[in-house]
Amino acid sequence: MTASNTVRVRFPPSPTGLLHVGGLRSALFNWLFARHHGGAFVLRIEDTDRARYCPEALPDLLDSLRWMGLDWDEGPDIGGEYGPYFQSERLDLYKQHARQLVDEGSAYYCFCSPERLAQVRQEQMKRKEDPRYDRLCRDLDPAVASDRVAHGEPAVVRLKMPLTGQTTFHDLIRGDITVENSTQDDAVLLKTDGFPTYHLANVVDDHLMEITHIMRAQEWIPTAPRHVQLYQALGWQMPAIAHLPVVLAPSGRGKVGKRKQVIAGGRALPVHVRDFRAAGYLPEAMFNFLALVGWSYDGHTEFMTRKEIIDRFSIERINPAPAAFDYDKLDHFNGVYIRQLSPDDLTDRLMPILEQAGIDADREMMRRIIPLIQERLKRLVDVPGLVDFFFVEELPDYDPALLVPKKMSAAETRPLLTEARTLLAKITPFVSDSLERSLRALAEARGVKAGQFFTPIRVAVCGRTVAPPLFGTLEVLGREQVLGRVDLALDKIASLAAHS
């Protein structure tokens, strides 16, 4: 490819809030397309809506993209040949093009007050018409209008949409889309405060930044006809365009990005990228999972490396139908990716999460716990609740009744646990294999089911009934800790037996 036809795509978020997974999916598809073609991925900040500006948004955006490994070739922090990459620093460009459009008769000044517009709107709604600007200023004498502007009268610039005919554009995913021009509004391009609207800024920047392909959310389809008209009016070739399928919340109702969180099955589920990160989803799992939200390689291959996804990505295989964001599937992907991590890598990722949960975990010990939990782990954030009991000198108080297995009494349990204690004091080496062998043999000798026999031991050392595999747990805790905890359990069970 020569420089002039190198693929250039952009991700142009508006910094109005935290990045959600729908936005991340748009970024990912653009990034994949750029990397597939050896092109450029441009990050542009569309910060022209001052009223909705959120200072937290930009750092959150950059962190989120970096977390997933979506690097940009040009952008606000690193600059590039086509900068600046903040729209708020490009206002002169927009004004200049707005003026050009007015001079050439493709746009016009509109002096209507917000009050008048509201009234027009209200009347249209009453008549059950689509609310739309009634074009009062469209036919003003341009010289008179320019004069009023020159005298300081506040005005917006509006696009002069053709009143008849049709506008057609080709969507790379959806094919040709045609609208009747008579259904279109004369959209505002430049506001009274001198800031452009999305339409003008987006078109001017995509052109000046030599963007070759636009891949944006489906919700923007209705704006495309006016963008087509803008490109035509400015005498520019429009980039190829594709509208990505919406990302639906798991209920199938509504877009995922319109909420702070999704409630499903009684669970509050994250929506913002930062919350997925905090919940311990692995970026590599999210990358693979998200690539399949609206795109597929062959309809069935699910697990692919980053490189495979880049090699295989194509716009043709993006499905126009709305795509569900399936949290259960993400959990499954996360589990698979967690199992692929080396124990050392997993330990490294867990240490900060444990610290955050207020657990003073010894790294070496955590490294030894990994084989006990790695297999069943779905989210890193579940780990503190699984391993906290390893890292305490004394177990938090637990209900003594938990020590008593089903279909047994405290009086029956007590001698069994006493015998187990005697054995635990002796077994050498104190490792999982020999612990298992000896304890199973004892259960059998006493004619007690293994499950019943192990319950009091498990509760004694973990303080609960559901815990990582018992023998490995005993090994990691070590004989001294185990005996101390069993002694405590024996005290508890003694008082329980005395009271029953």
- Interacting residue ranges for ligand GLU, rule: CB under 6 A: 12-14, 46, 202, 216, 220
Least distance between ligand GLU and beta carbon 174 (Å): 16
* Paired tokens of 183: 């259904």
Q: Which residue is nearest to ligand GLU (CB)?
A: 216
Measured from the CB atom, the residue of 191 and 332 that comes closer to ligand GLU is 191
Measured from the CB atom, the residue of 30 and 106 that comes closer to ligand GLU is 30
Least distance between ligand GLU and beta carbon 189 (Å): 15
Question: Which burial class, exposed, middle or buried, applies to 209 when counting CB atoms under 10 A from its CB (0-12, 13-18, 19+)?
Answer: buried
Question: How far is it, in rounded angstroms, from Cα 274 to Cα 31?
Answer: 19
* Paired tokens of 481: 């800790």
Least distance between ligand GLU and beta carbon 223 (Å): 8
Question: How far is it, in rounded angstroms, from Cα 86 to Cα 362?
Answer: 45
Question: How far is it, in rounded angstroms, from Cα 500 to Cα 498?
Answer: 6
State the alpha helices, DSSP H only, in 38-168: 57-68, 91-103, 114-126, 142-150
CA 445 centroid distance within chain: 55
Q: Residues 328-349, buried b or exposed e (16+ Cβ, 10 A)? A: eebeebbbbbbeebeeeebbee
Question: How far is it, in rounded angstroms, from Cα 134 to Cα 154?
Answer: 18
Least distance between ligand GLU and beta carbon 9 (Å): 10
Q: Which of 334, 348, 347 is nearest to 377 (CA)?
A: 334
Measured from the CB atom, the residue of 26 and 413 that comes closer to ligand GLU is 26
How many Cβ atoms from other residues are within 10 Å of residue 54's Cβ?
13
Question: How far is it, in rounded angstroms, from Cα 69 to Cα 27?
Answer: 11
Residues in CB range of 465: below 8 A, 6 or more apart: 402, 455, 458, 459
- Strand, helix or coil for residue 373: helix
Least distance between ligand GLU and beta carbon 230 (Å): 13
Element (H, E) at 243: strand 240-244
| Separation in Å, CA 91 to CA 248, 367, 382, 486 | 35, 55, 48, 73
Least distance between ligand GLU and beta carbon 339 (Å): 36
Least distance between ligand GLU and beta carbon 324 (Å): 21
User: In the Cβ-directed half-sphere of 316, how many Cα atoms lie within 13 Å?
Assistant: 3
Measured from the CB atom, the residue of 42 and 462 that comes closer to ligand GLU is 42
Measured from the CB atom, the residue of 274 and 306 that comes closer to ligand GLU is 274
Residues in CB range of 266: below 8 A, 6 or more apart: none
- Strand, helix or coil for residue 366: helix
Measured from the CB atom, the residue of 234 and 411 that comes closer to ligand GLU is 234
Least distance between ligand GLU and beta carbon 152 (Å): 31
Question: How far is it, in rounded angstroms, from Cα 390 to Cα 46?
Answer: 49
Question: How far is it, in rounded angstroms, from Cα 290 to Cα 286?
Answer: 6
Residues annotated catalytic, as ranges: 258
Measured from the CB atom, the residue of 9 and 477 that comes closer to ligand GLU is 9
